Amino acid sequence: MRRDETKAQVDEPPEDGLGLGDIVAMLRRRFGLIATVTTILTAIAVVVVLVWPNRYEAIAVVQLDPRPKKVTRFDNVYEDLKPDTPTIESEAEIAISGPVLRAVMTRLGLTDDPELTGQTGTFDEILRRLGFAVGRPALQTIPHHPPVSEPARPGDFEQLSGARGGPDGLEREPVFAAFNDRVSARRLRNTQLIEIRYSSRDPVKAARVATTIAETYILAQITSKREASEVANAQIEKRIVELRRTLAGAERDIEQLKSRLGVFQAQGGELTERQLAREMESLVEARRRTAEAAARHEAARRALAGGPGHAPGTAVDSAVVSIPEMFRSPTIRALAEALEKAERHAEELRIKYGHLHPVRQRAEADSAAARAALIGELANIVATARAEHAIAEESERQLDGRLDTLKREISRVKAHEWQLKALEREAKSTREIYEHLLSRRKQMAESADLQIADARVIDRATVPLRPASPKRKQIVLVALVGAVLAGIGLALALELLNPGISSPAHTERDVDLALIAAVPRLADARQTQRDLMEQVRTVPLGAFAESVREIRLALDDGRPPGRQLTVMLASALPGEGKSVIAANLAAHYAASPGRTLLIDADMRRGTLTRHHRTAPSDGLYEVLAGRAAAEDCIRQDGPGDSWFLPSSRMPDFASPASELLASPVMTGLMAQLAAEFDTILIDAPPILPVVDSRILAQHVDDIVIVATVRKTPKEMVRRALKALAQNGSKVLGIVVNGIDRSDRYRPQGYTSESSTVARRAA
13-20: long-range contacts (C-beta < 8 A, 24 or more apart)?
A: 14/505, 14/506, 14/507, 14/508, 14/509, 15/505, 15/506, 15/509, 16/509, 18/502, 18/506
**Percentage of the residues of the chain whose pLDDT score is greater than 90:** 11
CA distance 661 to 681: 16
The confidence score (pLDDT) of residue 163 equals 41
More confident residue, 567 or 143: 567
The confidence score (pLDDT) of residue 274 equals 66
CA max distance for the chain: 231
The type of residue at 214 is A
DSSP state letter for 728:
G
**Tens digit of each residue's pLDDT (9 = 90 or more) over 562-580:** 788 999 999 988 888 888 8
**Tens digit of each residue's pLDDT (9 = 90 or more) over 448-479:** 566 677 788 888 989 988 888 788 888 889 99
Are 147 and 215 in contact, with CB atoms under 8 Å apart?
yes
Local confidence band at 498 (pLDDT 50, 70, 90 cut-offs): low
The confidence score (pLDDT) of residue 13 equals 46
Local confidence band at 612 (pLDDT 50, 70, 90 cut-offs): confident
The confidence score (pLDDT) of residue 19 equals 64
The confidence score (pLDDT) of residue 702 equals 92
The confidence score (pLDDT) of residue 753 equals 38
Asked if pLDDT for residue 656 goes beyond 50, the answer is: yes
More confident residue, 8 or 364: 364
More confident residue, 1 or 156: 156
CA distance 371 to 722: 175
| Strand partners of residue 59 | 197
Across the range 593-619, mean pLDDT stands at 81
Question: Where is mean pLDDT largest: 223-232, 356-365, 692-701, 744-753?
Answer: 692-701
Across the range 267-296, mean pLDDT stands at 69
The confidence score (pLDDT) of residue 326 equals 52
The confidence score (pLDDT) of residue 682 equals 93
**Tens digit of each residue's pLDDT (9 = 90 or more) over 217-268:** 988 888 887 877 778 788 888 888 888 888 888 888 878 877 776 665 544 4
Average pLDDT, the chain: 76
The confidence score (pLDDT) of residue 703 equals 92
More confident residue, 612 or 152: 612
HSE-CB of 137 using CA atoms within 13 angstroms: 21
Local confidence band at 686 (pLDDT 50, 70, 90 cut-offs): very high
Contacts of 326 (CB under 8 A, 6+ apart): 296, 299
Asked if pLDDT for residue 136 goes beyond 70, the answer is: no
The confidence score (pLDDT) of residue 494 equals 74
The region of weakest confidence among 145-154, 405-414, 536-545 is 145-154
Local confidence band at 416 (pLDDT 50, 70, 90 cut-offs): low
**Percentage of the residues of the chain whose pLDDT score is greater than 70:** 73
Across the range 639-663, mean pLDDT stands at 74
Across the range 735-744, mean pLDDT stands at 72
CA distance 234 to 77: 13
- Helix axis angle for 543-556 and 753-761, nearest 10°, is 120
CA distance 50 to 43: 11
CA distance 481 to 114: 36
DSSP state letter for 565:
E
More confident residue, 278 or 41: 41
DSSP reduced 3-state for 675: helix
Asked if pLDDT for residue 56 goes beyond 70, the answer is: yes
DSSP reduced 3-state for 506: helix
Tell me how crowded residue 200 is: count the other CB atoms within 10 A of its CB: 24
Are 706 and 578 in contact, with CB atoms under 8 Å apart?
yes
Local confidence band at 700 (pLDDT 50, 70, 90 cut-offs): very high
Local confidence band at 742 (pLDDT 50, 70, 90 cut-offs): low
Asked if pLDDT for residue 426 goes beyond 50, the answer is: yes
Tell me how crowded residue 582 is: count the other CB atoms within 10 A of its CB: 28
The confidence score (pLDDT) of residue 481 equals 92
The confidence score (pLDDT) of residue 639 equals 67
The confidence score (pLDDT) of residue 17 equals 53
The confidence score (pLDDT) of residue 312 equals 43
Asked if pLDDT for residue 584 goes beyond 50, the answer is: yes
The region of weakest confidence among 520-534, 557-571, 668-682, 703-717 is 520-534
The confidence score (pLDDT) of residue 420 equals 75
Local confidence band at 272 (pLDDT 50, 70, 90 cut-offs): low
Burial class (CB in 10 A: 0-12, 13-18, 19+), 65: middle
More confident residue, 304 or 679: 679
| Strand partners of residue 60 | 196
Local confidence band at 743 (pLDDT 50, 70, 90 cut-offs): low
More confident residue, 691 or 25: 691
Local confidence band at 128 (pLDDT 50, 70, 90 cut-offs): low
The confidence score (pLDDT) of residue 380 equals 79
Local confidence band at 310 (pLDDT 50, 70, 90 cut-offs): very low
CA distance 267 to 278: 14
The confidence score (pLDDT) of residue 204 equals 92
Asked if pLDDT for residue 408 goes beyond 50, the answer is: yes
The region of weakest confidence among 191-195, 351-355, 370-374, 527-531 is 527-531
| Strand partners of residue 56 | 200
More confident residue, 410 or 723: 723
The confidence score (pLDDT) of residue 587 equals 87
Local confidence band at 704 (pLDDT 50, 70, 90 cut-offs): very high
Local confidence band at 164 (pLDDT 50, 70, 90 cut-offs): very low
More confident residue, 335 or 413: 335
Are 118 and 179 in contact, with CB atoms under 8 Å apart?
no
Are 619 and 633 in contact, with CB atoms under 8 Å apart?
yes
Across the range 672-686, mean pLDDT stands at 91
CA distance 334 to 228: 100
Q: How far apart are the first and last CA of the chain?
A: 39
Asked if pLDDT for residue 694 goes beyond 60, the answer is: yes
More confident residue, 435 or 416: 435
The confidence score (pLDDT) of residue 499 equals 65
The confidence score (pLDDT) of residue 185 equals 92
> Which of these, 680, 682, 700, 533, lies nearest to 594 by C-alpha position?
680
More confident residue, 753 or 99: 99
Are 399 and 364 in contact, with CB atoms under 8 Å apart?
no
The confidence score (pLDDT) of residue 3 equals 39
Across the range 390-418, mean pLDDT stands at 74
